[in-house]
Amino acid sequence: MNKLSRILLDLLFISVIGIFVLFFSLFVLMQPLVVTGNSMLPNFHDSEQILIEKVSLKYREIKRGDVVIVKHPENHNVLLLKRVVGLPGETFEISNGRVFINGEGLDEPYLFEQNVTLGKESIPDDETLLIPNDGYVVLGDNRDDSLDSRNWGPLKKNLIVGRNLLVYAPITNFRLAH
């Protein structure tokens, strides 16, 4: 085999491996998604493109404040972008337009300044909820326009798909997760 043929064969081999690694990363370890709707305003906007990572869920605990992608509990084909607010074993309450965790008011600097959190059918106002050991309370940042745990109750951990890693489009909105 001449030298040029050997170089071309090596390049083809490297390209095939590179494409495999790229597809594995994008569809197994990470996943691109498009934000739809206004439930996460002011932090995430309709039509922004985000990249989520799926691996850390197995190695790192989910924390309050994490922005996660979850399967809708009634239709697992629908993915939603939400913020983790309540953790397993905590008490959760909505009262006077605010969220309380274990009786303490939650500081939520990611919300609109004029935001008021109201209860809904599954988590009504002024009722204390004990979050189950395999459950999380997830809420949208734009509480007036969000389908979230207030509608369906605590979300089971197995319905959390991944964490937001970054916003990559439009490029003017590029930023890492916060």
Q: Is 25 a catalytic residue?
A: no
Q: What is the token pair recorded at 67?
A: 């922005």
What is d(CA 66, CA 171) in angstroms, rounded to the nearest whole number?
Answer: 23
Length of the chain: 178
- 12 three-class SS: helix
Catalytically annotated residue among 15, 54, 56, 82: 82
Residue 156 annotated among the catalytic residues of the structure: no
Q: Evaluate whether 136 touches 69 at the Cβ level (below 8 Å).
A: no
Which of 39, 71, 120, 122 is catalytic? The answer is 39
Cis preceding linkage at 132, omega within 30: no
* 154-to-21, 26, 79, 91 alpha-carbon distances in Å: 36, 29, 16, 11
Check if the beta carbon of residue 164 is closer than 8 Å to that of residue 50: yes
Residues known to be catalytic: 39, 82
